[in-house]
Amino acid sequence: MGKKIRDSWGSRLGIIMAVAGSAVGLGNFLRFPVQAAKNGGGAFMLPYFIALLLVGIPLMWIEWSIGRYGGGLGHSTAPGVFQSLWRKNRFIKYFGVIGIFGPLVIMVYYTYIESWTLAYSFFSLTHKYAGITDHVSMQAFLKGFQGLERNQFFSSISTAYVFFLITFVINITVLNYGIRGGIERFCKFAIPTLFIFGIILAVRVLTLGAPVSGQPSWNVVNGLGYLWNPDFSQLKSAKVWLAATGQIFFTLSVGMGVILTYASYLKKGDDVALSGLTAVSMNETAEVILGASIIIPAAFMFFGPVVIGNIAESGAFNLGFVTMPLILNKLPMSEIMGFLWFGLLFLAGVTSSVSMAQPAIAFLEDEFDITRRQSVMILGTTMFILCNAAIFFLGKGVVDELDFWGGTFCLVLFATIEVILFGWIFNINKAWEEVHHGADMNIPGIYKYIIKYVTPVFLLTVLGAWFFQEWLPIIRMDNVPAGNRAYILGTRVVLWLIFLVLVVMVKLAWRKRRSEPYTEKVSDRRDI
């Protein structure tokens, strides 16, 4: 029998762009400004950068390293990678299921939200919302589009569903062409394009000149100050530290199993140290430089410090789909500015959503010898059915529930498991050698101790605090409206079923692997 040829990246630039694309998403331009503004402004940035240095960057190096290591043994997903790190433990592979489950849960709702940005790009060019001048009407426009209410703007959810279908087909098409021909090719186009769009928008906002509101103090300098001037009293709040750490997880896509899968297609001698740091740098440029220079300063100049505080508290959706269209409507060439804004978000969204699908596709390919096309078809059919729950039950809290389990809890839990595996079970000396194999830079020695001690303690503390403070109210659904509880319970049942199906699939895959000699798997390692 001939050895199956695994997919691979076409270039070093390709893998960096793909990992950066996974990290650069809606959270950089919508979630980050909101989190920073409502958590102490500049004071938020101190725990943010501490979490980046002590958790984000170490986890990025860990995931690049264990992904490349597992890929050399024929594994592209967390169950196989975890098993290769701890071969004597036959249960550890089941913990790796989280690295497939988490991204799938996020993709269920993320693809739908991503489709809103495509729709609003079209609405901007066609002047669909051009005549709306106040928050109440723009909010009604968004709710009508989402199908949450019928009004003068939309009579049904059909428009939103059409744009969801288009977005879904785009995602499946990119995935169908594989790692090199699909994901890499798309990210090489999308990442530079969205950076160009972001730079144009940031320059336009920062050069607005005289206060557009007529209020002298509502200027771009004070707008930046609103975001960056620190309120150090906020540092006493654990909530600010948890929010900053959560943002690092969300923005870097660590703890998902996505980067691990991407790195599995590297060759043994490929650099992971400098490449991983480069991907982090690209993401932080998009988030800290561009993301912080567009929404908050613009909103401050048009609405002032009081209203902008309320806008930040109202959440990322209102900021991105209500406030920004109102602001862009007031600028020259508003339809072009609107297209650039929502086009940027759409490209960022697609590069992230395709990365979330890849672990499940790779699992089907590697463990069941299913072709790429068949794997994409199976995943696409399953995800299409699940996505409809996010679409039609948006107003029932289903998206928030999916976001908590897939986009918060699973991320921290998975990251905690992999850092303990890498630093303790695999052995930190062996791990340090693995990170530096083929490296184009020497990682500062202090990170050897950070990876072994600081990062796991940090993550265990976050998990412990959550279990101590939050788990019982969440399980009891204390903060869920009575009318939504049946939908939330149904969502949890479906999530458990998905997780159990994945566990059974892992069990079946390893039962098949037992009949294959281990030496054959080792021979698949790519040392060139």
Q: What is the DSSP string of 405-440?
A: IIIIIHHHHHHHHHHHIIIIITTHHHHHHHHHTT-S
The three-state secondary structure class of 82 is helix
| pLDDT band of 233, cuts 50, 70, 90 | confident
The amino acid occupying position 99 is: G
Task: Let me know if residue 377 belongs to a domain.
Answer: yes
State phi, psi for 230 to the nearest 5 degrees.
-80, 140
Encoding tokens for residue 495? 């999530």
Task: Let me know if residue 70 belongs to a domain.
Answer: yes
**In 10 A of CB 133, how many CB atoms?**
10
Q: What is the pLDDT of residues 234-264, one digit of tens each?
A: 787 777 887 788 789 888 989 999 999 999 9
Task: Let me know if residue 2 belongs to a domain.
Answer: no
State phi, psi for 495 to the nearest 5 degrees.
-60, -40
The three-state secondary structure class of 100 is helix
* pTM attached to this predicted model: 0.92
| pLDDT band of 211, cuts 50, 70, 90 | low
Q: Which of 67, 101, 73 is nearest to 87 (CA)?
A: 73
Stretch 12-24: mean pLDDT, rounded?
93
Burial label, 411 (beta-carbon count in 10 A; 0-12, 13-18, 19+): buried
Q: What is the pLDDT of residues 55-95, one digit of tens each?
A: 999 999 999 999 999 999 989 999 999 999 999 999 999 99
Residue 490 has pLDDT above 60, yes or no: yes
Q: Match 């149904």 to its residue by tokens.
A: 490
Q: What is the DSSP letter of 233?
A: G
The amino acid occupying position 189 is: F
**Residue 290 in contact with residue 29, Cβ under 8 Å?**
yes
Task: Let me know if residue 481 belongs to a domain.
Answer: no
Task: Let me know if residue 3 belongs to a domain.
Answer: no
Residue 137 has pLDDT above 80, yes or no: yes
Q: Residue 246 is part of a domain; what is its CATH number? A: 1.10.4160
Task: Let me know if residue 239 belongs to a domain.
Answer: yes
Task: Let me know if residue 399 belongs to a domain.
Answer: no
Quote the domain boundaries for residue 124: 12-392+404-467+496-522
For 268-304, give the DSSP string.
Answer: TTS--HHHHHHHHHHHHIIIIIIIHHHHHHHHHHHHH
| pLDDT band of 439, cuts 50, 70, 90 | very high
| pLDDT band of 397, cuts 50, 70, 90 | very high
Stretch 203-225: mean pLDDT, rounded?
78
Task: Let me know if residue 491 belongs to a domain.
Answer: no
Please state, in angstroms and rounded to a whole number, the distance separating the CA atoms of residues 32 and 34. Answer: 5
Stretch 501-508: mean pLDDT, rounded?
97
**Residue 526 in contact with residue 268, Cβ under 8 Å?**
yes
Q: What is the DSSP letter of 444?
A: P
Give how many domains the chain has, as a whole number.
1
Strand partners, 230: 41
pLDDT at 30: 85
